[in-house]
Amino acid sequence: MEAPVTVQSELTERRIAQYTLLLGGAGSVVATFFFSVRVGAGLFIGALLAWVNFRWLERAMDAVTRASTAQANSPEARVPISGYFGLFARYGLIAVVVYVSFSVFRIPVLSLVVGLCSLGAAAMLATLIEVLSSSSESH
């Protein structure tokens, strides 16, 4: 049986991933309505990039944690190459997608950046829900 903290953190991570896409999609619809299709597309592309970034980071950190736990008694723990790849390749992916979106499709960079911020907004929303649900359980 997993510890309650682990189960709760996995639930929060799942919520953050879902809220990232939800907020990005909703923001994309609003931006398309009020500004333009390109701005809306940029916001949605940025949100998708934020979601992929979060997933790759989560996978890389899980690999590092598993490797360090498995090699707890070893003097030198070795992290698999895939762990390092997941940590650093996500920045390359973001850079390439932002460059291509701007230079080829003329998507405004600011809308891509706002879309990338959907991960931060999702993390704040998930934390707020976590705090409010735990405070209502204690009363």
Task: Tell me the HSE value of 121 on the side-chain side, using a 13 A CA sphere.
Answer: 18
In the chain, domain spans: 9-69+79-129
Model's pTM, two decimal places?
Answer: 0.84
Question: pLDDT band at 8, cuts 50/70/90?
Answer: confident
Q: What is the pLDDT of residues 97-113, one digit of tens each?
A: 999 999 999 999 999 99
Q: What is the pLDDT of residues 108-131, one digit of tens each?
A: 999 999 999 999 999 999 999 888
Return mean pLDDT, the chain: 87
Closest CA to 90 of 45, 47, 52: 52
pLDDT in tens, 48-63: 999 999 998 888 888 7
Q: In terms of Cα–Cα distance, which of 33, 55, 36, 51 is closest to 122?
A: 51
